[in-house]
Amino acid sequence: MRIPALPMGPRGLVALTAMVAFTLAVVDGGSVALTKMTVPDDVQAAGHAAAEVAKNGPANRQTAAAAHLAAQDSAKLHGITVHTKDFTIYPDGRVTLTAGKTAPTLLLERVPQLAHLADVTTTTTVEPLPFS
């Protein structure tokens, strides 16, 4: 039985491999860039939901838990995760929170050494909106 030859030589195979690697890098880089552009707005929306709850009550553990729950509910709509340890409410209704998302990539999230490059995290302080 005869094995058919490749229509390209070793140089062509190297060029094809380089082109595929470059394409994957561009697609993954674009995905990470788009995620970095959208996450701050999504975190701010979650912060506004939390600040809406925090402005009505005293800055205690119960109000913080209710505000954190509101932030998590808003964050789920945008596919982000609110970090519990970096969530603070202030007596004037401001909220500081950290949230993040993993960018949908073809290669980065599947290679353990590169997976951290797909994680996008933002910390923001949000005041309650003047209107409800």
Arithmetic mean of pLDDT over the chain: 90
Q: How many structural domains does the chain have?
A: 1
In a domain, 24, yes or no: yes
| Residue 43 scores a pLDDT above 70 | yes
The owner of tokens 């109000």 is 63
In a domain, 78, yes or no: yes
**Domain residue limits at 78:** 10-126
In a domain, 54, yes or no: yes
Q: Which tokens sit at 76?
A: 């789920």
What is the secondary structure of 96-129 as a DSSP string? EEEEEEE---SSGGGSTTTGGGGEEEEEEEEPPP
| pLDDT per residue as tens digits for the range 87-124 | 999 998 899 999 999 999 998 988 899 999 999 999 99
| Residue 3 scores a pLDDT above 80 | no
In a domain, 2, yes or no: no
| Residue 5 scores a pLDDT above 70 | no
